[in-house]
């Protein structure tokens, strides 16, 4: 594969210098973007799990987080990095890992797609996965692992099948099938609820294997067996690891707490699952439920008509029936485009969230799927083969996330990237076929250039949104991020000056008071404390506790009780508490927040900071000397005692 890449670059230097220059330009823009802007919430959450595991925490023993398993893939990288550099610049390191991961995934798409269309066109389409960063977050979290592992596993499996079908049956093809199974098993492990889509995944992979047989290729179902072996091997190793380091009763208890403190199991009925797909596609703009249902029905009918047209191309139809089918095709596609265009314009005018522009763009591209499925292509095999490669898994992931992330539609649409890539592929094919009808050789060359121009516009739009959509402390202006953070986990990232000073001050303060082996609790949106020093441990049942348990938007102890329960269960309380903001509750505690009373009784303020504008503040609490271990006030001691290995 690497030899072919080297040869392709040589040919591009000879024949397609402009295209190659454009590719490197897009890559350079995306690479530069990872050095700017540091959001205070989601990215810190994604980096918490692997850092905790690298510091010695055990899955299901030291965490009750429903997606804690996402950390196992980055923990080895973070462990090596922390041995060499501590936590200085670890956030930037995570971003570089994400960039490398997307480039590897893009190359597998290019390698496979280059066998069906021009390699020039394939290179631009595959680059979509690189310039796409959901929520403008350049880090590997469960979101990114879900769609990247899904696409990477699928492309590797098909690369192996293609090699087998060419009668080059070598040991490496079996290894690739095995690795693709491992990757898909890792995808499921990164987001435990993904086990629900395993039947869809297996059926899809089997259909792809069957497709190669139907085309007269060598029927080697051993490939599917090696794929299953890869999935099973990873799953068995993960279960053995958990059972070896955690007692059975503790593991069962931890699993129970995962579902108690993460409201992700409320949507199990088929009706709810289907409706949440509608939410994932159309919520946020059309408030009326009837319009959402109409859009969903219209989408389904359009896809059905597309299927009928494919059936029609293989079986004879009467002339009258053809006219009816064609009229319905035109009607559905026109209505679909009109309604989705209205939706797109409304979304741009009134975005649901300020960091959803990239995901919105992905969704709008996905809206074109039914229309492009209706349009005929000369090579139907490419059309439906890549449909199996990208669409079913992408759609099932969207449904999965929208039904297991509290029903938040905006959290699900990022998984539509597979459909978006497929739509851009069909669009490029349509442009090439349309312009290829001209007999002039110059126009034929322009046909390829025109399709690449369209894909380049898509790439530029993605990149524009990545620069414009500065999710985090950026005041909405990208070029205000001109101050480089000098110390701490965010070292090397450019942010606004006041935010950089705040981050550096906080890092110094925490390191000043840190004690090796003592736990730290960060309250509110507070990423800086998660890995400020290798000797410190994040001590919460859920790293997201750092952003939940003191927000004024939560008005009852449902969101506060888990953290107290966790401390009681572990028989350990944090040595240090870092509070984002001015601790005004010291003078006027809110009875709705049990943790306020806990802090007042057991901790004392040791340091505080307030930025010049007052927008960035923190307060550091240390445990009172007279309070030690179980003598801390505020516990009911109602948990049964469980011993860890």
Query: Which residue ranges make up each domain of the chain?
Result: 1-140+486-494, 142-259, 263-435, 496-631
Q: What angle do CA 591, 595, 600 make, to 5 degrees?
A: 85
DSSP state at residue 618:
E
Q: Is the pLDDT of residue 553 over 50?
A: no
* β-pair partners for 577: 521, 621
Lookup: tokens for 448: 């390829």
Lookup: tokens for 475: 């005041």
Best mean pLDDT range from 43-52, 174-183, 212-221, 387-396: 174-183
Burial label for 269, CB within 10 Å (0-12, 13-18, 19+), is exposed
Please state, in angstroms and rounded to a whole number, the distance separating the CA atoms of residues 250 and 641: 10
Per the model's pLDDT, the better-predicted residue between 640 and 231 turns out to be 231
Per the model's pLDDT, the better-predicted residue between 566 and 148 turns out to be 148
pLDDT, mean of residues 605-622? 85
pLDDT, mean of residues 313-317? 50
Question: Which residue is it, tokens 């009706």?
Answer: 271
Q: Buried (b) or exposed (e) across 123-141, using 16+ Cβ within 10 A?
A: bbbbbbbbbbbbbbbbbbb
- Report which of 567, 542, 564, 546 is spatially closest to residue 66, judged by C-alpha positions: 542
- Cβ neighbors of 118 (< 8 A, separation 6 or more) are 448
Written in H, E and C, the secondary structure of 200-243 is HHHHHHHHHHHHHHHCCCCCCCHHHHHHHHHHHHHHHHHHHHHH
Neighbours of 456 (CB within 10 A): 18
Lookup: tokens for 115: 């066998």
Neighbours of 32 (CB within 10 A): 10
pLDDT, mean of residues 106-111? 92
pLDDT, mean of residues 458-473? 74
Rg (CA), the chain: 26
Q: What is the pLDDT of residue 421?
A: 92
CA 17 to chain CA centroid, Å, is 33
- pLDDT-derived band at 104 (thresholds 50, 70, 90) equals very high
Lookup: tokens for 71: 């950390």
Per the model's pLDDT, the better-predicted residue between 323 and 456 turns out to be 456
What string of DSSP letters covers 246-302? Answer: S-HHHHHHHHHHHHHSS---S--SHHHHHHHHHHHHHTTT---HHHHHHHHHHHHHH
Question: Which residue is it, tokens 């000797």?
Answer: 535
What string of DSSP letters covers 339-363? Answer: HHHHHHHHHHHS-SSTT-HHHHHHH
Best mean pLDDT range from 270-279, 369-378, 405-414, 443-452: 369-378
Q: What is the pLDDT of residue 449?
A: 66
Q: Could you tell me the pTM of the whole model?
A: 0.78
């Amino acid at each position: 594969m690497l030899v072919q890449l080297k040869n392709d670059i040589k040919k591009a230097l000879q024949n397609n210098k402009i295209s190659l220059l454009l590719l490197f330009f897009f890559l350079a823009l995306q690479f530069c973007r990872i050095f700017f802007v540091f959001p205070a919430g989601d990215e810190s959450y994604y980096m918490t799990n692997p850092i905790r595991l690298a510091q010695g925490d055990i899955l299901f023993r030291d965490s009750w987080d429903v997606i804690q398993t996402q950390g196992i893939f980055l923990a080895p990288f973070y462990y090596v990095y922390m041995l060499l550099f501590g936590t200085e610049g670890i956030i930037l390191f995570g971003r570089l890992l994400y960039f490398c991961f997307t480039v590897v995934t893009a190359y597998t798409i290019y390698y496979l797609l280059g066998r069906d269309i021009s390699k020039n066109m394939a290179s631009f389409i595959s680059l979509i996965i690189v310039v796409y960063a959901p929520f403008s977050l350049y880090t590997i979290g469960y979101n990114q692992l879900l769609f990247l592992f899904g696409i990477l596993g699928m492309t590797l499996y098909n690369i192996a099948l293609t090699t087998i079908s060419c009668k080059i049956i070598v040991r490496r093809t079996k290894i690739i099938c095995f690795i693709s199974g491992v990757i898909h098993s890792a995808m499921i492990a990164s987001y435990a609820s993904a086990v629900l889509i395993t039947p869809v995944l297996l059926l899809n992979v089997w259909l792809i294997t069957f497709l190669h047989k139907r085309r007269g290729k060598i029927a080697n179902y051993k490939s599917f067996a090696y794929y299953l072996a890869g999935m099973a091997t990873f799953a068995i190793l993960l279960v053995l690891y958990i059972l070896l380091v955690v007692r059975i009763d503790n593991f069962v208890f931890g699993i129970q707490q995962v579902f108690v403190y993460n409201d992700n199991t409320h949507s199990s009925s088929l009706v709810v699952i289907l409706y949440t797909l509608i939410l994932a596609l159309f919520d946020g703009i059309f408030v009326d439920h009837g319009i959402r249902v109409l859009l969903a029905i219209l989408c389904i009918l359009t896809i059905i008509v597309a299927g009928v047209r494919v059936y029609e191309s293989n079986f004879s139809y009467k002339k009258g029936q053809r006219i009816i089918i064609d009229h319905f095709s035109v009607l559905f596609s026109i209505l679909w485009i009109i309604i989705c265009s209205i939706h797109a314009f409304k979304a741009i005018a009134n975005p649901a969230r300020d960091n959803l522009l990239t995901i919105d763009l992905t969704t709008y591209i996905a809206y074109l799927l039914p229309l492009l499925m209706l349009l005929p292509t000369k090579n139907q095999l490419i059309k439906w083969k890549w449909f199996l490669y990208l669409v079913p898994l992408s759609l099932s992931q969207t449904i999965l996330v929208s039904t297991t992330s509290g029903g938040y539609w905006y959290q699900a649409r990022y998984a539509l990237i597979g459909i978006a890539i497929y739509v851009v592929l069909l669009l490029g094919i349509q442009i090439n076929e349309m312009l290829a009808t001209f007999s002039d050789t110059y126009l034929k060359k322009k046909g390829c250039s025109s399709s690449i121009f369209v894909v380049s516009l898509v790439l530029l739009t993605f990149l524009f949104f990545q620069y414009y959509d500065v999710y985090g402390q950026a005041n909405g202006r990208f070029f205000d991020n001109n101050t480089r953070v000098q110390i701490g986990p965010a070292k090397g990232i450019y942010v606004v000056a006041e935010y950089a000073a705040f981050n550096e001050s906080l890092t110094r303060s925490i390191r000043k008071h840190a004690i090796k082996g003592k736990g730290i609790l960060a309250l509110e949106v507070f990423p800086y404390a998660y890995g400020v020093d290798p000797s410190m441990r994040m001590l919460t049942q859920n790293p997201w506790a750092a952003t939940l348990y003191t927000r004024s938007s939560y008005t009852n102890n449902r969101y506060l009780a888990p953290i107290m329960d966790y401390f009681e269960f572990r028989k350990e309380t944090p040595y240090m508490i870092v509070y984002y903001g001015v601790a005004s509750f010291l003078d006027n505690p809110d009875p709705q927040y049990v943790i306020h009373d806990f802090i007042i009784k057991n901790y004392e303020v040791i340091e505080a900071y307030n930025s010049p504008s007052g927008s960035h503040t923190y307060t550091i609490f240390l445990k009172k000397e007279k309070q030690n271990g179980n003598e801390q006030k505020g516990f009911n001691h109602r948990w049964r005692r469980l011993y860890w290995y």
